[in-house]
Structure 1
Amino acid sequence: MESTLIQGLGFVLVVLACTANDSLQTLGTFLVSNRGRTPLWLQVLWICLATAAILMFGWIRYHGDPAWDRLGSFPPPEAFSWFYLIPPLTIAALTWWGAPIGTSILVLSAFAPMQTTALVKTSALGYLLALVISLLLYGLGLWLLEKRFSRSTEPSSTALPKRWLILQWFSTAWLWCQWMIQNAASLYVYLPRRLSLEELLLSIAVICAALALIFAWGGGPIQSIIRRKINIHDIRSATLIDLVFGMILFTRALSMSMIPLSTTWVFLGLLAGRELALVARLHQASPGQAIKQLVRDLFKASVGVGVSIAVASSLQLVLM
């Protein structure tokens, strides 16, 4: 009975912690660019519909596993103890500090320490891949669009074409679905590997409740990383970021790798490449200032990795 209670509480805590921290990469541009434009309840409803759709699709495709079969290397413990609540509580504390961390690394390595190296390796490679792709895309062509957006006065008026609003909403929903495919394992690691329909619907309700809190909170302190980036308040720039990020995660999904990666590190690589390319092309900020911000973001993310490894190692020593 106690183990079941801890599982349920762990799931609620990890949903709140992971979605709050990872809202930077998936919902950050959506929150910033839609502030004051569309009703908050409609934004929440849209993301909740995307959540239900992708989790139910995974549940059907993988015969009761909404985690998209990515928990094969992370078996559940024989019994859940209160120590398993430490990872989501640690994520919540780091999120309050404003650190973008690899939530997958922290949560999953606590269940399978032997997979920590694989989790860190795939996440680091994801960062480098996103950095290179972003540098190429923004440096060779997308900077021209960003230049046009930065000179336009449309985003501050009601004259912005509705097609951009529609495109951003669909690109955000697509990106959110790609994030769920990669990160559902971090959420459902606390639950049985096969869920009934009733259990699935209850879990979706918990996730949607967490999303409502995050939207009401405005994303929290972690959103400061997004707000510092060049031209990010423009809904068209935000749409481009979502499309590029979603494309990278979709490419990762096509690889069929069963080891989850930290999408946070992928997003930081994307932002780093974009910022460096736009600084070089548009000269809207000094290179030194841009590099300083990127180093600060990377430092906070690195602290998250260090804490993740320390927490996972400590848990294993306690539970042995």
Structure 2
Amino acid sequence: MEFDISLWAIIGFTFAAYAVVGNDALQTLGTFILSNGRLHWSVLFAFAAIILVAVFTYGWVINGGDPSYGRLANTAKYPVVDIQWYHTLPPLVLLVITRLGIPVSTSFMVLAIFATLDGLTSMTIKSMLGYGLAFVTALVLYLVLTPTLEKFFRRTEHQQHFIGWVLLQWITTAYLWGVWLAQDFANIFVFLPRELTAFESFGAMSIIVVLLAYTFANRGGPVQAVLKSKSNVTDIRSATIIDFTYASLLFFFITLNDIPMSTTWVFLGLIGGREIGMNAMGKTREWQEVARIIFSDAGKLFIGFVISVALAVLLPMLASSMTGGGAEATPLSDVVEESIAPDSGTDETDPQLFR
């Protein structure tokens, strides 16, 4: 199905681009921004912008005009639809939540309204696997690193800006930012055609770069408070280890399959496992405080998930009632409407839901 880029598509794309960049700057660039606070934001922005343009261009070329790296290629799970006003509301809600400093999943918030039940289920399972694997990986890693490397970092804090570590951090940040973009471009480009012309691509990329500049000018925004609450994340060396571990986990899931997933779940799983591992070996804070932080972050993820599914189901129904049934239903709203409709007298099950 082909469709022109409508005004609603442009509005939805812009909302999604700003919300995704603003929210996920915490995960991908948060430690980079915090640990390089002595540098002007424009220097850090230029570095990130160059990588963004390179990753975008590469994906657009090798995927025949699709910068989402094939995450949306399965139209049975993520159908191409004509963008209506209600499609723009989930990224707008995400934008508001981001301004409140709440780290929710942009993948669920933006993609749920476009996904079929099968698509949402696949994305949920992969994201849960991502959280669990990241949690266990970080727990084991920091049980080893806390009494050794992290202890050394605390003793030699004045040495963290040694040129070797600075260079390693910037390389690691480039690695992380690149793999994250390849994973999360789908959350932005779901509003646009699956194949973009060079002109459309340049315009879309320009919008993202401008919004990225605004995010850097604000040093990551309110959501940075989530990262600042964690133990020892401003040391360049500690930040480098976090970023490399996170990037490697994302790279694993990128190569696993092309199903979209929540990178936020992976990130908070990593940070949660790290907090427990560090506290078990170094008692950086009271266990009640550690538990509060982890469950608070997990609770915010769950709230975001519930809101995203609710919006995906209810908004098309609301639009349909307002227009007398003229609005196009989304896959999830169709499923709900069929489940609450009067019994048609047949026991046949739609095989599409279980493919």
Class of the TM-score when normalised by the shorter of the 2 chains: over 0.9
Residue pair 2:112, 2:309 contacting (<8 A) in 1 also: yes
1:14-67 CA distance string (max 9 Å, x none): 00011111111011101111112x221111011011111111111111111110
Structure 2 CA distance for aligned equivalents of residues 150 and 225 of structure 1: 21
Determine the structure 2 residue equivalent to 1:274. 274
Task: Give the 3-state SS of the residue equivalent to 1:231 in structure 2.
Answer: coil
Residue pair 1:113, 1:312 contacting (<8 A) in 2 also: no
Unaligned runs of at least 5 residues, structure 1: none
Determine the structure 2 residue equivalent to 1:75. 79
Note the C-alpha offset of 1:143: 4.8
Structure 1 CA distance for aligned equivalents of residues 157 and 67 of structure 2: 44
Task: Give the 3-state SS of the residue equivalent to 1:221 in structure 2.
Answer: coil
Q: Does 1:31 align with 2:30?
A: no
Structure 2 CA distance for aligned equivalents of residues 94 and 2 of structure 1: 30
Task: Give the 3-state SS of the residue equivalent to 1:110 in structure 2.
Answer: coil
Note the C-alpha offset of 1:137: 1.3
Determine the structure 1 residue equivalent to 2:154. 150
Q: Does 1:119 align with 2:123?
A: yes
Determine the structure 2 residue equivalent to 1:251. 252
Determine the structure 2 residue equivalent to 1:59. 60
Relative to total residues, which structure has the larger helix share, 1 or 2? 1
Residue pair 2:45, 2:213 contacting (<8 A) in 1 also: yes
Kindly tell me: are residues 133 and 47 of structure 1, through their superposed partners in 2, closer, same or farther at Cα, counting changes over 3 Å? same
Query: For residues 1-320 of structure 1, what are the structure 2 equivalents within 5 Å?
Result: 4-36=6-38, 38-72=39-73, 73-77=77-81, 79-114=82-117, 115-141=119-145, 143-154=147-158, 160-255=161-256, 257-317=257-317, 318=319, 319-320=328-329
Residue pair 2:41, 2:219 contacting (<8 A) in 1 also: no
CA RMSD of aligned residues (A): 1.6
User: Once structures 1 and 2 are overlaid, which stretch shifts more, 206-215 or 309-318?
Assistant: 309-318
Matched residue type, 2:144: L
Deviating runs (4+, > 3 A) in structure 1?
none
User: Once structures 1 and 2 are overlaid, which stretch shifts more, 310-319 or 164-173?
Assistant: 310-319
Structure 1 CA distance for aligned equivalents of residues 157 and 65 of structure 2: 49
Note the C-alpha offset of 1:293: 1.0
Note the C-alpha offset of 1:76: 1.9
Task: Give the 3-state SS of the residue equivalent to 1:192 in structure 2.
Answer: coil
Task: Give the 3-state SS of the residue equivalent to 1:229 in structure 2.
Answer: coil
1:85-108 CA distance string (max 9 Å, x none): 101101011112221111111111
User: Once structures 1 and 2 are overlaid, which stretch shifts more, 66-75 or 42-51?
Assistant: 66-75
Matched pairs, number: 314
Structure 2 CA distance for aligned equivalents of residues 44 and 56 of structure 1: 18
Structure 2 CA distance for aligned equivalents of residues 251 and 143 of structure 1: 28
Structure 1 CA distance for aligned equivalents of residues 89 and 109 of structure 2: 10
Residue pair 2:28, 2:173 contacting (<8 A) in 1 also: yes
Matched residue type, 2:143: G
Could you tell me the percent identity over the aligned residues? Answer: 36
Note the C-alpha offset of 1:2: 9.5
Unaligned runs of at least 5 residues, structure 2: 320-327, 330-355
Which structure is higher in RCO with an 8 Å CA cutoff and minimum separation 6?
Answer: 1
Task: Give the 3-state SS of the residue equivalent to 1:111 in structure 2.
Answer: coil
Note the C-alpha offset of 1:222: 0.8
Structure 2 CA distance for aligned equivalents of residues 218 and 42 of structure 1: 12
Matched residue type, 1:236: R
1:223-259 CA distance string (max 9 Å, x none): 111001111111111111000000100111121x121
Matched residue type, 1:89: L
TM-score for the superposition, normalised by structure 2: 0.85
Matched residue type, 2:29: L
Task: Give the 3-state SS of the residue equivalent to 2:231 in structure 1.
Answer: coil
Residue pair 1:143, 1:277 contacting (<8 A) in 2 also: no
Matched residue type, 2:28: T
Structure 1 CA distance for aligned equivalents of residues 273 and 231 of structure 2: 12
1:192-241 CA distance string (max 9 Å, x none): 11011222222111111111110111211111110011111111111110
Residue pair 1:44, 1:212 contacting (<8 A) in 2 also: yes
TM-score for the superposition, normalised by structure 1: 0.94
Note the C-alpha offset of 1:141: 3.5
Residue pair 1:172, 1:242 contacting (<8 A) in 2 also: yes
Structure 1 CA distance for aligned equivalents of residues 184 and 198 of structure 2: 20
